[in-house]
Every structure is written in structure tokens, then in C-alpha cells.
Chains A and B, each alone.
Chain A
Amino acid sequence: GESVGLHLPTLSVQEGDNSIINCAYSNSASDYFIWYKQESGKGPQFIIDIRSNMDKRQGQRVTVLLNKTVKHLSLQIAATQPGDSAVYFCAEKRAGGTSYGKLTFGQGTILTVHP
């Protein structure tokens, strides 16, 4: 079936390093890909999204890359800070049809930033 998954379940980095979190997806019909950050005891927080017709999008300290050829999505965090420690989820969304608005989530990557 359709799925969105992650290559690495955990990632540990030193403060100030750049972090790269990866995600593989299988549904080539997805229209949007979104990254969420979930801190302990909180709901997922929207970080950034990218449309399927783009290959790169930048935000504040974050960049999302989309490679549709290999169905791969990544989130790059520059100058990682201890406050970035959280679980990161990728999700896909369809923009139309009966699946409109529904998010399919990947398994999550635990990012730990060491001071």
C-alpha cells in the first residue's frame, strides 16, 4: 500500500552542526510533502512544506529537498540547536479527490542535539 517512511529512526548531532533527516515515500501522486516537529508532550508543529512540482524550498534555518526520481524527501537544519531536539515526521498530502487534505505520516526520526 501507500506509505511514507524514514531511513533513520534516530539522529544525534553536536550543537552547531547541520542535520539532515531523510524520508522515503511511495505515492508518486502526492501533491504536497510536509515536515513536522513534535516535542515531548506536544502536538506536531508545522515546519515547512513543498509542492510536488518543486525540488527545493528554504525557510528559516531549514531547507527541504524533494527528489521525485527516487521518491526521497529530506529536511536540512542548519546550525542545529538544542531546542531542535524533537521527533521529526514527514507527511504527504493529496490536493484533490477523496483523499483531499488527509495526511499520511512517516514513522518519525528522533533528533538529539548535544551541547
Chain B
Amino acid sequence: SAVISQKPSRDICQRGTSLTIQCQVDSQVTMMFWYRQQPGQSLTLIATANQGSEATYESGFVIDKFPISRPNLTFSTLTVSNMSPEDSSIYLCSVEDDSTYEQYFGPGTRLTVT
């Protein structure tokens, strides 16, 4: 299975600032996804990030708030912009294995906005 790392693992940020989360995979993958998991809740898809194309966002998520980059087949970033306390969540990167189509998750980035 793919090994996924995220940086930072956690952060505490002031409202109004922005944080960029990095996701690194140990193998080349076509499809990468970003999810949000609010405290004690399930996961919600933010956007799909495929290399060579613009990220596609789910209802309720917009590019200005969550800009995403996907410069190559092993890396992606998610920025949480102009943060508010409501953005406090765990942000998770996931990838779909190009061979097995199984989807794997990174360890997550725990964000607290004060």
C-alpha cells in the first residue's frame, strides 16, 4: 500500500492567517483527495486533485478558501486561507492506488484556529 506523509502533523494558528498542508506519497498516483474531519465526526471530501488539471471542489468548498496545488504525481498541498475557529479540524490527504484502486489515507493534520 502507498505510504503517505503530511506536514505539519498539527498546528495552532491565529484567525485570519493561512496554513499550507503538504502531502507526500512514496509512489506515483493519479488521483489524490483532500478530506476534512471535524472533531468526533466523519470525513467529508473537500476536493479531488489530479496532476495536470484544476482541482475539483465539492459543494460547500471553494478554491479561494482552500486552494490546492498538484505539481507532480507524488505531491499535493492544501491551503486553508483566512482561517476562522470553524476551520479547526483534521485535514487528511488520500490517494487512490493506480493498480488496486484502493484508497489510502495520510495521518492527517490537526489544525486548531484560535
Chain A: residues with CB nearer than 8 A to chain B?
32, 34, 36, 41-46, 49, 89, 93, 95, 101-108
Contact = CB atoms under 8 A, between A and B. Distances in A.
Given A89-B42, A89-B43, A45 B105 contact: yes
A34 B42 contact: no
A101 B108 contact: no
A107 B92 CA distance: 16
B113 interface: no
A89 B43 CA distance: 9
Contact of A43 (B48, B92, B101, B102): B92
Contact of A101 (B4, B48, B105): B48
Question: How many of chain B's residues touch chain A, expressed as a range?
Answer: 20 to 34
B37 to A, nearest CB: 9
Contacts of A41: 107
Contacts of A95: 101
Interface in B33-60: 33, 35, 41-45, 48, 58
A37 B93 CA distance: 16
